[in-house]
Amino acid sequence: MIEIRNVSKFFGAFQVLKDCNASIARGEVVVICGPSGSGKSTFIKTVNGLETIDSGEIVVGNFRLAPGVTNLATLRRTVGMVFQNFELFPHLTVLSNVTIAQTKVLRRPKAEAEEKARALLARVGLSAHLSKHPAQLSGGQQQRVAIARALALDPDVMLFDEPTSALDPEMVNEVLDVMTSLAKQGMTMVCVTHEMGFARGVANRVFFMDGGEIVETADAATFFDDPKSERAKAFLAKILKH
């Protein structure tokens, strides 16, 4: 589903991504973890072209992304994204947030788009809030709307960029529950997250990044029980101490 080959990226002289290679199968759930500043967010954003790459190529489904490829409409339709800070549209209602891309990008008729939006919002447990504005919802609710908004375009892949990092602790689980059920339904997911419980319980594989490199890829159980690299060991020792 996703092939990442020799991807490098620079911010000025600083190399954020160093020759990254990875392959993600359809239906696979991958968690990317690593210390802050390791390039996780940049990496995930290259997959839908929010960050450009300086060399290498990324293939998502039938779409090939390489340096200089600018028409990303097809890619964006294939890949949904959920942001750390939700980024819902504050001037639109919850329902409109989930319909707008359907009507403007996919040109679905309004009634059909709304029906789809209602179904998705029911799925994430927000049927009671359709006509509210995002600011009237809790962080966890907002993030669930954001997930519904991304799903509305029927993506083949969902990217999650630290979806629970901006949430109060008691709201983390409601978002993780939605992500877990999505994973169970066979969605291909790439998640940058510090939720190690989710990584262990739901992810098929873990990519460990450090210093712009994918240092280690392993299935989830192996990664947590028996990490190979010293850097991953040191990282896990730090985050799993308490």
Partner 1 sequence: MRVDLAALVSAWPFLMKGLWFTLEITLVGVAGGVIFGSLLAVARLSQNRVLSGFATAYVNLMRSIPLILVIFWVFFLVPWAIGWLTNHGRPVAVGASLTIFTTFVLFEAAYYAEIVRAGFRSISPGQYSACEALGLSKFHAYIYILFPQAIRNVLPILLTQTIILFQDTSLVYVISATDLLGAATKIAQRDGRLVEMYLTVGVIYFVFCYAASQFVKQLQGRLSYGARP
Which residues contribute to the site for partner 1 (CB under 8 A)? 48-50, 72-73, 76-77, 79-81, 83, 85, 87-91, 100-101, 104-105, 133-136, 149-150, 153
Classify burial at 147, counting beta carbons within 10 Å of its beta carbon; exposed 0-12, middle 13-18, buried 19 or more: buried
The Cα–Cα gap between 103 and 163 comes to: 25
125: Cβ contacts below 8 Å, ≥ 6 apart: 144, 174, 178
Please identify, using beta-carbon distances, which residue of 1 and 50 lies nearer to partner 1.
50
Please identify, using beta-carbon distances, which residue of 64 and 104 lies nearer to partner 1.
104
Helix (H, G, I), strand (E, B) or coil at 63: strand
29 in the Ramachandran plot: left (φ > 0), alpha (ψ -120 to 50) or beta? beta
Cβ at position 234, least distance to partner 1 in Å: 32
92 in the Ramachandran plot: left (φ > 0), alpha (ψ -120 to 50) or beta? beta
Please identify, using beta-carbon distances, which residue of 105 and 234 lies nearer to partner 1.
105
Please identify, using beta-carbon distances, which residue of 149 and 205 lies nearer to partner 1.
149
Listed residue (218, 215, 175) closest to 198, CA to CA: 175
Cβ at position 79, least distance to partner 1 in Å: 8
Cβ at position 124, least distance to partner 1 in Å: 17
Give strand pairing partners of 158: 80, 189
Please identify, using beta-carbon distances, which residue of 136 and 229 lies nearer to partner 1.
136
Query: What DSSP string runs through 2-19?
Result: EEEEEEEEEETTEEEEEE
Cβ at position 216, least distance to partner 1 in Å: 28
Cβ at position 43, least distance to partner 1 in Å: 15
Cβ at position 236, least distance to partner 1 in Å: 30
Helix (H, G, I), strand (E, B) or coil at 87: coil
Please identify, using beta-carbon distances, which residue of 1 and 153 lies nearer to partner 1.
153
Please identify, using beta-carbon distances, which residue of 44 and 171 lies nearer to partner 1.
44
Parallel, antiparallel, or unpaired: how do β-strands 29-33 and 188-192 relate? parallel
Listed residue (185, 219, 187) closest to 200, CA to CA: 219
Cβ at position 77, least distance to partner 1 in Å: 5
